[in-house]
Amino acid sequence: MGLVQQYPALNRPPAPICSVCIANYNGAAILDDCIASVLAQRVDGEVEIIVHDDASTDDSVPLLRERYPQVELLASEENVGFCAGNNRMASHARGEYILLLNNDAALCPGALEALVSAARASARPGILTLPQYDWESGNLVDRGCLLDPFCNPIPNLDPKRHQVAYVIGACMFLPRTVWNDLGGLPEWFESIAEDMYLCGLARLRGLPVTALAASGYRHRQGATFGGNRAEEGLHTSIRRRRLSERNKTRAMMILTPGLAMWPLLFAHLAALGVEGLVLSILRRDLTLWREIYRPALTEPCREWAALRARRSEVQAERTISVTGWFSVVRWQLRKVAMLARYGIPKVQ
């Protein structure tokens, strides 16, 4: 799956406490902020930084080689996607812990210390994150996410709630042993909802998924993939929406425990079909139906056997109760709430 040119780091730490893994594609303009925020961290132990460049067409590779010799660079000769890039870095990592950090994000002071301290103090290893703040406004975006019944994310804003459904891959921290046990990110997802899937696997096995209250990280939401930020209405891209709807359906089919999955799945697919038809009619653009909604409805049918087999494997390892699984599900329709607040989304 593509050749990777490795550029070893200067004075690579022999036994890092944490490996910070930064997936990059055409991020030359934003990498300085990201890497500088990691270099400014103070933590008990050494930290290694690994960057996977996904065949960027800008000056990312020359910038990294010239300006950051202390960074381990994996330069892919072809674009393999977010999941594959992170899996490569995790395989290359030597730290006790792994931190996935988006190239459009930056750690706040004390972030890494808070994560390492919480992980060491935890009775059971799991997945951690920090409060997420919008890059431009500084407003709190979430403290991890809850889910609605159809795997649509609901930002957690409650400072007293720490156990969440999932944490986004822009800042995801976990022991390397847990990463290996879970199998890393699902490369067949390509991108979008891979973090939801990994956290779901962890929760099914009884591992905590926790949002800390300390420190945080700033994030240019959607800078590298479009969408994900409401500014005078909802804006997204066809590719992002297509991947989102497809992968959330996959996650629901595989992860939702018990017989409840079946009525939820049928209701989800019916609602998705209605949503696609209504949006296509209102926008007078069948591209939305053809490129987003029809694939989201037909691909689960084509993948039915593989998805059911994967569901059987995953559910066989489940230790959490059905009630425990749904403890981070809110019985509300997130899309309806967003529609009422922002109006019909603009898809480009």
Under the banding of pLDDT at 50, 70 and 90, the label for residue 12 is: confident
Under the banding of pLDDT at 50, 70 and 90, the label for residue 282 is: confident
pLDDT at position 237: 82
Under the banding of pLDDT at 50, 70 and 90, the label for residue 284 is: confident
CATH 3.90.550.10 maps onto the chain at: 7-219
Phi and psi at 168, nearest 5°, equal -75, 150
Q: Which two tokens stand for residue 215?
A: 């420190």
Helix axes 238-255, 294-302, angle to 10 degrees: 40
Q: Is the pLDDT of residue 58 over 80?
A: yes
State which fold the 7-219 domain adopts.
Spore Coat Polysaccharide Biosynthesis Protein SpsA; Chain A (3.90.550)
pLDDT at position 80: 94
Q: Is the pLDDT of residue 73 over 60?
A: yes
Q: Name the pTM for this structure.
A: 0.93
Q: Is the pLDDT of residue 95 over 70?
A: yes
CA 216-212-321 angle, to 5 degrees, is 140
pLDDT at position 280: 87
Q: Is the pLDDT of residue 203 over 80?
A: yes
Q: Is the pLDDT of residue 17 over 90?
A: yes
pLDDT at position 10: 86
Instruction: Give the bridge partners for 153, in sequence order.
Output: 147
Average pLDDT of the chain, as a whole number:
92
Is the alpha carbon torsion for 39, 41, 43, 48 positive or negative?
A: negative
**101-133 pLDDT, tens per residue?**
999 999 999 999 999 999 999 999 999 999 999
Under the banding of pLDDT at 50, 70 and 90, the label for residue 92 is: very high
- For residues 124 and 243, what is the distance between their CA atoms, to the nearest angstrom? 33
Q: Is the pLDDT of residue 211 over 60?
A: yes
The more confidently predicted of residues 281 and 338 is 281
Cα end-to-end distance, the chain, whole Å: 30
Q: Is the pLDDT of residue 1 over 60?
A: no
**148-197 pLDDT, tens per residue?**
999 999 999 999 999 999 999 999 999 999 999 999 999 999 889 999 99
pLDDT mean over 40-45: 94
